[in-house]
Structure 1
Amino acid sequence: GSDVAYSDVTKSFKKQEVKIAIGPHRAINVPKNTQVVVFSPAVLESNPERKAARKRGIVEVSYPEMIGHLMVDKFGITVSGTHGKTTTTALLGHVLVKTKQDPTVIVGSFVKDFGERNERLGKSKLMVVEGDEYKASFLNYKPKIIVLTTIDEDHLDYYRDIKHIKAVFQEYLLRLPPDGIVIANADDQNIKDVLKAVASLKVVTYGIRAEYNFSSISFGKTSSSCVIRHHEEFERLEIPLLGMHNIYNTAAVFACARTLGIPSKEIAKAIKSFKGVWRRFDIRGTKKGVTIIDDYAHHPTEIRALINALKQSYAGRRIVFVYQPHQEDRFIKLFNKFIEAFDGVDLLYLAEIYAVEGRDGKHDSSKRLLVPLRAKKIKAFYYPTFASLKKELLSEVKKNDVMVFVGAGDITKLRSEFEKSIQ
């Protein structure tokens, strides 16, 4: 395979003895004996390696098309939604493994329970896949069950607006077979709108007043709990995740597992043993009295959910929020929502926008957030380079701070450098 830069993903592949070419994509990277080239939807037709494949008559298949092909002979379960799908997919996969269902699982991040890998190969017919909505990728999949977490405005470089997004989700649900099932978040208004248009489908709901409903919620420093009910049945869940959004994610998993016929107590036991996902409220540890957390949140809704979770679990401690916006197009189109996303942090440090190759080029800057944020009395600062930002963080950090590194770009590199320097 090939990628433009080293990352934790390429390192993981190298550990599995997969040969990865790092650097600018080049025709020479496609080996002589290649039969199929699988590409990410973000990789354009003009990519040198894709052009080389076509010139040599090699079959090109997008990643979603390949997943759809692999799902043909499986009992497929896809977890989709603008937010929450990675954690929900990982937790569902973990529950199915622990309850001896032996599924194949493909997740959009590293899962600690899978040995820091993003997949596991099972021997049963069950296949659990994180179904991405970018460029309507999930329309390539062939699931029997769709778990639907949230629908929100995002990927507006592809979708026109929320109406377009909901129409594509509707098409996705209508592709289920006649005996297909939707496991849906009943508290998400956009999901409710979509479900009205697909009334013929069997729908199982979860939420505060849904078929699978939760109550008696509490949050600790590293875990949370709730009671989940379904008709006369109820179970107390000890959840090694934080935030109200993860109560919803866990309820989705519980509802799906029960729909598959797994006993409640087995599900609860499996949930309690979950170790988590890379960069999803990833508590890295404490150095010099400073708690360091790494998180992938990159959308205003996700940022608000993360800050709420931090305030619940670290009440009374100073929250230092280090954020790197991801993709200029998202930053521009959701700019007003970003202004409202950071309420509750004590200090906000903005890194420069992480530009996505092939999707950016507008040359905006996260510095543009400073004036509107400061007008809201948020202590916000901008640093154009990781070097200058690291220097500021090391001089400003205090014992008992909660230092959170947030974003979908390469902000985790800054977190790693900060960790090493604070020792």
Structure 2
Amino acid sequence: MELDNIKQVYLVGIGGIGMSGLARYFHKRGCEVVGYDRTQTTLTDSLAEEGLAITYVDAVDEIPANFRTSSDNLLVIYTPAIPKDSAILNYFQENNFDLKKRSEVLGIISKGMFTVAVAGTHGKTTTSTMVAHILKHSGFDCTAFLGGISSNYDTNVLFGSNNVVVVEADEYDRSFLRLHPDIAIITSMDADHLDIYGDDSHVKESFRLFASQLKEGGKLIRKNGLPLEGGATYSAKEPSEIFATNVRVESGTFFFDFKAQEIEINNIELGLPGLHNVENATAAIQAALLLNIEAEKIKEALKEFKGVKRRFEYVIKTDDKIFIDDYAHHPEELRACISAVKQLYPGRKLTVVFQPHLYSRTRDFVDGFAEVLDMADELVLLNIYPARELPIPGVTSEIIYDRMKLENKQIASKESAEAIIAGLQPKLLLTVGAGDIDTLVLPFKEILENA
């Protein structure tokens, strides 16, 4: 596939965070971009406002006439999350169109560019967005494909004038094995996506393969304790080759010092809370230093970093009420998020609303979810969001609920959750999950503000 030949692009699953980034990329290149997604969201609405044509009906007659004939100028991109019985996907498959997975296209775009790739079962979106922000804010510049909407730039794709690209390297469906980075960061390797990998050993094997795909002379930055060899280790919890120390909270803001073999950067102010984000920043700083960005410019960039939407995003922040929304959907992500809230607001009663994501993940990590949700003072547990999956017999939110020790808990549907929050009127509220729990954020906000 030659990028310069592509004039038309159809994306099957255009509303996904990675797919929408590619849609914006090709639209910016002047291509005619069309797509299908089963659900209309604020993200698809944004794409439509930018001039992309989107349908929400999975039917062949929804494909525009000028996209129904295969040609060398037409590219069809699909996500593995699309059901195999999709009418639109099957039409393209059966009529010999040039079909490529999202990961293949990202690999083609980044080929020939200096690539900074950030991988990890969690932490990769914030860390890759931090790296991209440092490169942009410092004037170094970059192109970037991010796994979330950057709050600084209000988009998930950035366009640069140089040959450097920052990419979030997604382990789902082994997508990141399409990449050959110059700098690779690996933030975590916890078991996840076991519906794809089968077991934890295959997850770790895949990350080791990713690490082995560095270009000649490439640099690996890996979190201390991961079962990998080579590269430089980083941590905010224990001495490493690269580490954060003197971590402290002053007036609700995190500060820390950065230390590596050849450099120290003191009194770094981080515009995002949580020890896990200090750790993410430590890796991002090292990547920026490898690109010879000045320490003072890195400090200035991190102070101005506003994070990623739905990653510890403040919805309400007043003296009386705090409402935070987060995408956490794995037990370790939940642990990091809840720990950060408790560190920032010690002594306050914490109400958590959690929506489990996927039947398989709920089944595989039920004990972990139960343990970490016990950290809440009060829990509203929503029904499982199925995403791409069919129900698994015996797997419901009740299996988490039944294993928990917390007494102040209840199970609710999305529809009943609003009335529950209206009754509770929490002073410190955290909504967490990767499904459609984000559709409750605005109603909850209005309930709390109008009380």
TM-score range, shorter chain: over 0.9
Pair 1:419-2:445 in alignment: yes
Query: 2:99 matched to which residue of 1?
Result: 60
Asked if the contact 2:374/2:406 (under 8 Å) is kept, the reply is no
Q: Residues of 1 paired with 2:190 and 2:363: CA distance? A: 16
The residue identity in structure 1 corresponding to 2:62 is N
Asked if the contact 1:6/1:22 (under 8 Å) is kept, the reply is yes
Q: Residues of 2 paired with 1:222 and 1:51: CA distance? A: 52
Query: 1:172 matched to which residue of 2?
Result: 210
Cα RMSD, aligned residues only: 1.6
The residue identity in structure 2 corresponding to 1:31 is P
Q: Residues of 1 paired with 2:170 and 2:406: CA distance? A: 36
Shift in Å, 1:222: 4.5
Identify which of 145, 154, 179 aligns with 1:106: 145
Shift in Å, 1:268: 0.9
Shift in Å, 1:5: 0.8
Q: Residues of 2 paired with 1:382 and 1:221: CA distance? A: 35
Residue segments in structure 2 that go unaligned for 5+ positions in a row: 1-34, 68-73
Q: Residues of 2 paired with 1:248 and 1:319: CA distance? A: 24
The residue identity in structure 2 corresponding to 1:105 is A
Look up the SS of the partner of 1:382 in the other structure.
strand
Q: Residues of 1 paired with 2:43 and 2:180: CA distance? A: 26
Pair 1:43-2:69 in alignment: no
Shift in Å, 1:44: 4.1
Pair 1:397-2:397 in alignment: no
Shift in Å, 1:368: 2.5
The residue identity in structure 2 corresponding to 1:134 is Y
Query: 2:295 matched to which residue of 1?
Result: 264
Deviation digits for residues 106-158 of structure 1, max 9, x if unmatched? 111110111x1111111110000001000100001222111111110100001
Asked if the contact 1:96/1:257 (under 8 Å) is kept, the reply is yes
Pair 1:289-2:320 in alignment: yes
Using the size of structure 1 for normalisation, the TM-score is 0.92
Shift in Å, 1:41: 2.0
Q: Which moved more, 1:39-48 or 1:311-320?
A: 39-48
Asked if the contact 1:280/1:296 (under 8 Å) is kept, the reply is yes
Pair 1:311-2:325 in alignment: no
Query: 1:227 matched to which residue of 2?
Result: 257
Look up the SS of the partner of 2:444 in the other structure.
helix
Q: Residues of 1 paired with 2:197 and 2:246: CA distance? A: 38
Q: Structure 1 pair 306/378, CA: closer, same or farther in 2 (3 Å)?
A: farther
Shift in Å, 1:341: 1.2
Pair 1:241-2:272 in alignment: yes
Shift in Å, 1:31: 2.6
Deviation digits for residues 275-297 of structure 1, max 9, x if unmatched? 11100000112479321111000
Shift in Å, 1:351: 0.6
Q: Tell me how many residue pairs correspond in the alignment.
A: 405
Asked if the contact 1:27/1:49 (under 8 Å) is kept, the reply is yes
Shift in Å, 1:43: 1.9
Q: Which moved more, 1:314-323 or 1:8-17?
A: 8-17
Q: Residues of 2 paired with 1:378 and 1:269: CA distance? A: 45
Identify which of 243, 246, 263 aligns with 1:213: 243
Identify which of 182, 187, 207 aligns with 2:220: 182
Q: Residues of 2 paired with 1:387 and 1:418: CA distance? A: 12
Asked if the contact 2:366/2:399 (under 8 Å) is kept, the reply is no
Q: Residues of 2 paired with 1:378 and 1:235: CA distance? A: 45
Asked if the contact 1:221/1:313 (under 8 Å) is kept, the reply is no
Q: Which moved more, 1:238-247 or 1:39-48?
A: 39-48
Pair 1:75-2:108 in alignment: no
Q: Which moved more, 1:240-249 or 1:50-59?
A: 50-59
The residue identity in structure 2 corresponding to 1:225 is F
Q: Residues of 2 paired with 1:51 and 1:155: CA distance? A: 25
Shift in Å, 1:310: 0.7
Q: Which moved more, 1:75-84 or 1:32-41?
A: 32-41
Identify which of 360, 364, 372 aligns with 2:390: 360
The residue identity in structure 1 corresponding to 2:165 is M
Q: Residues of 2 paired with 1:392 and 1:300: CA distance? A: 24
Residue pairs, 1:1-40, within 5 angstroms: 1-23=35-57, 25-34=58-67, 35-40=74-79
The residue identity in structure 2 corresponding to 1:255 is Q
Residue segments in structure 1 that go unaligned for 5+ positions in a row: none
Shift in Å, 1:227: 0.5
Identity of aligned residues (%): 30
Q: Residues of 2 paired with 1:222 and 1:126: CA distance? A: 35
